[in-house]
Structure formats: C-alpha cells, structure tokens
Structure 1
Amino acid sequence: MKAFLDHLILSHFRSHQRADLALDGRPVAFFGPNGAGKTNILEAVSLLSPGRGLRRASADDIARKPEALGWKIKAEIAGDLSHELETGAEPGHSRSLCIDGKPAPQTALARILRMVWLVPSQDRLWIEGAEGRRRFFDRMTMSFTPNHAEAVLAYDKAMRERNRLLKDMVRDAHWYDAIETQMADAAAKITQNRHAALARIAEAQDGAETAFPAADLTLIEAESGEALHAPADFATSFAANRSRDLAAGRTLIGPHRSDIAAIYAAKRAPAQQCSTGEQKALLISLILANARALKADTGTAPLVLLDEVAAHLDAARRAALFDEICALETQAWMTGTGPELFAELGDRAQHFSVTETGGRSTVAEVTP
C-alpha cells in the first residue's frame, strides 16, 4: 500500500501567492537560496496533519503579506485510498478543514495521512527544555495511535479547569473530583500510548540495517517519581498533591511534566553529551525508525518532511539517507540550498527549484 500527495496547491500561503505542484509519489527535493520559500512548502504539507504545523504558527501569521486575504491549501491524496483535503483560514478566523468536501475536525487528518518531520529548530532538542521533547515524542505517538491527540486535548482542557480552581484558591474537594477524574482517564491513555510508542520505536531500531545510530529512549515520569498507569493511580495522585498545587497555582504532576531521555546506544552516552553531529544523527535515526514502524504496522509508509537535513550530512551519509528513504517507498519532502545536495537521488526523486523575487516565491520542476 502507498499513500502520497499527487497534487498540491497553495494560495496566498506565506511567500507563495500561488504554487501548483503535480507529483507522482517519488520523494520530492526542493532547492534554492535561503529565504526563497522552500520551508514554506513543507509547512503547508505539515498542516495536512493535526496541529499547528512544523512552525506552530497562528493562522493569521501564515497569510501572505501585505495582502492578508487569508490562505488556502488544497491537496489530493493518491494511492490505495484517495481523498481531497482543503484547509485554510480567512483573516481573523481560525483554520477550517474539509475532507472530501465535508467539514471535519483536525484530528481526523491523523487517520488519513500519517506524517513525521524533522526541522532545524529540533537540532537542539536534547539540550533544551522538556516541552519540546514531549511535543516531538507525542507526534511520534500520535502517528501510531491517532486518538492520542484527542487524549492530549481532553487532558489539557481538564487541567486548565483545575488550574483555574487552584489559582482561585478553591479548597472544596467537590470542585476537584469530577475534573480530576477526567484528567486521570486522559492521563492513563496518554501514558499507555507513549509506552506503546516507545516499544514500537525500539523494535524498529533493533536489527535495522542503517547508517544512523540507534537511540535508546526512556520515558521519565512526572515529578512525583511514581510510575503511574491506571486512572485510579492518577486520580489518587492528583488528590494527594492538591495542597502543593494550590501553593504553586498550577498542576505540578502528570503527563504534561514527563520527559524523554535518549542514549546513544553504541556509545552508551546521553544524547545531551553527544556532539552536534551525533545529536542530529540520532534524530534522523528516530524519524526513520518511526517511518519503518508505521509501514510495518499499517503497510503504508508515512510522509517524511526533512527541512535542510542534507546540509548537515557528509556525502556518504547523505547517500545512505536517500537510499533508506527510497527503500521505505515513502514520499519524502526535502529542502536544501543547492541541487548538488540531492545529486545522489538522481531520477529516484522529483526536483524543484524555488526562487524568490520581490517577496513572491516561484516553484519550477527541473530535470536532475
């Protein structure tokens, strides 16, 4: 089975007044100078999955300036299952989504088109705060369990209500019981989904023939240090921690406080102590493992978005990456500053030149 974009249209999307790409399922390589609009294309593709895309931008920030007319993305999915997707936003409004001409929630996208990505801002993932690592790993988890996004949303909504009570110094237990039950149910699902994703990533890395180093991942539980799994355990913990949370004015334990630790398996070295190149290689390894596991589970490889990934690799490892992408039979979307970065792909990929003049990007397919 295979699922890929065979037609993508951008309208007033950042620097692209209009872009119309005809695709055939092969990997896609975009090259051009910095600021030409390459990443904007990958961002548009990322918005065909739940959430705010690879830049986490607001709907208004995406609209092309100075027109500010709103923006739109249209995409056709080909393969064993075909769909038409359309998403966009009018000025001052939130993003809308239609699937096959019918309005749909964003969470529905996770069941139609699975997607993984790696962008330069994630290069510091192992040395910055836990929030970025949680977001990175939750996207992995959602790729295996699409309803993980719904559990996260339910948990966040209930936690916001609980935090309002805490800030208002409400002490009556009756106000908390129902909210904490909702939080506990969602927390148990989130934790179960995360542990299942850890197991799938580990399995996908074991024995894989790859030029990229394996990473051993560990889920570090909430600040309480307890390994909570059942809803009743979470509910008990939330209730027991109320006095401490009241003093802080917010919820201090739960899956929103978890972290992910990575070990460079061959060296037994924590990721944060590895070189910049090794940290990047570990991230690529995890993305590839995620894609391999999804293909093994569903029979269909996800879309893989790799922004400026080739610039950080030497020629040998770059060629190895392209070989792995082609072996996965995935439609990878890649960007780089020059065509030479994708020379090893040859006709195994479609190549596009991206240029910018006067704030307007132009995309043209070229023969390698």
Structure 2
Amino acid sequence: MNTILPIDKYSVLLYLLVKCINGFRLTYGQGILLFSIGCVALESFWINYPASNREIFYPIFFLAASFFFIKSNISLLKVRNIFFVNVLFGLICAILANIGVGNPYSRTLLEKGLPDLFAPLGFSPTNQVFGTFCVLHLIISFEYRKFDWTFFVTIIALVLSFNRCSIIFLFIILYIYRRKVLYVILCTIVIAFIKWWKELEVLLSTATLGSRDELRYGVTLSFWRSKDTMVYLFGRGNSNTTDKIAAKTIWERSYIENGLDFILHSYGFLGLLVISIALVTLFLWIYQKKEWKFLIFFLYYLLIEQWMTHEFLASSFMFFMGIITMLVEQKTIKNSRHGRNFDSNRYI
C-alpha cells in the first residue's frame, strides 16, 4: 500500500522538522533506540523492495515525535481539551447515525452483532484509537483533578465506543483513582446483566475474539511458514500481507491487527529484539521511580491492547507514549521536592 502519506503522518514529519530546527535534541538512549530500529526497518525495506511499504517507518516517526513531545513542556490540560473536540464530535456523529443520519465519523457495531447500533469514531481510524484518546483525557483529568462536564461526557463516549480494551482500561483507571466508584459500577453491571441477560449477552460474545485468531492466519502463512532465514531476521518489510496470502484466509484481509504479528512481519526477530530491550528499559525506568500506576498503564497498553489491535500506525500511539512519560516525569519532579531522588536525564 504505497499510497501518498496521510495527513497525520505529514503532520508528524512537519512537527519533527520544526523541533529539529528549534534545537530540540534527543537523549543518548532515545537516539540509540531510534537508530537501531531505523536501521532494521531500512534493511527490511531494502531487502524486500518493491514488496515492502513505507508504513513500517510510521511507528518510528511517531516514537520520535513522542520524545520531542515530552520535552515540549506543553500544557497537558490544553492537550486534554484538544482530545475532547474529537470525543465530542464522535459522540455527536454517533447520535446522528443512530437516529438515521448516516456519516463516516461513526461506526456500526455489526461485528459485535448489533448492526443497528453505531459507536462514536470521530476523526479516529478505529474505535480503539477513539477509546485511547478518551482514556488519555481521563488520565489527565484525574492527575490534574479536573472533573468538569467534559470529564463525564468522555466517560459516556468511551463506554458507547463498545471497545472492550478501552472499557477494561476505564476499569483499571477507576481501580487506581476511584476504587469505590468502580465497585458501584461493577455491581450495577452485574445487576443489569441478571435482569436483561438475553438483551445484553451479545456484548459478552467471544465471536470477535475468535475472529482475531483467524485474522492472524495470514501472518502464519506469510511469515512463519516462509522457511526463509532473511524473513525471520528482517521480516517482510510490509505492514500488510499480500493479496495472494489474504485470499487464502477466511476474512481475506491483508491488514495485520495483532501487534506482535505486525512487529515480526514488518521488522523480523531483529526488530522484536530491539523493541523488547526498549520496553524492558522503559518498564525498569518507571519501576525505579516507583510510579506504579503509570507502569500498570504502560503494561496494559503496550502488552495487552496491542495484542488485540495495534495502534502503531495511529497518532494515539505517539500521544500515549508522550503523555504518560510526561506524567511520570512531572510526578517524579514533584516527589523529588519532598526528598525523593530524581535524575531528569534518565528516560528513553
């Protein structure tokens, strides 16, 4: 899919250019990480050309942008307000779609067995990306204790996204920040399912989970059964399988949803090694600072959510990495003023 770069990718490239011109510099660790994964991506792209595609470079651009974002000192409350524009727009579009006014900014829940119901999408490419922006809005709200009307609208929008990963993330957030509220919500959910089981059991359907395993079969054919050492080392240099491979699968889709499959298919085991080292370093950095809640956020987002449907090609990946890291830094600085040690240069 060597199409023209989408507008969000152009925006990221422009952002990186502006930051470089303004003198923003990466730390040693950040530079090593980007250089390492960049070399693997270039090698994979070159080996597999012309079957490779440029999308394998998007996560690297997003990661670099998140590093500059961390240093920008931008107000996270302003970022929160920007996220809410998308949240509110998506919610309004979903309401319009549910009353018969069709639009491309909402999405039918046909895959979940609810073809007549539409979920908010906004300017996001998927419901999960929309949910991630909602999650970031809520985390910033809790950290800054901003519980205005936008906070409650965002919770409603997240729930109406009907995205399991995002709703589970909401439960994790409530467990960390407002445990009693979570218990009340869980009790309400249990009572609702007891009373309206037949109407609500579709929401617990595992059919979509089974379909995710079926969607992985394309990578099984393209990567695991390639029996090619270079493919195992550097991947296919492509974020999608070929149409020929897709035709052999049940859903006939070339898009790779699973995050691990995406990494292996795009960068091979060398890329997986570099990314694994980076993740371990990130987790150890947060562990050393004893910011447990942010460690939980990173663990869930990077190891669980991306397993279901990855966001490496979406701007939500950049914002999540940047915002949570900024919050860790801010929390560490605040704690250092109360006697805890702090080293401002120790982050990826």
TM-score (normalizing by structure 1) = 0.29
- The structure whose residues are more often helix, as a share, is 2
- Does 1 or 2 have the higher relative contact order (CA < 8 Å, sep 6+)? 1
- The structure whose residues are more often strand, as a share, is 1
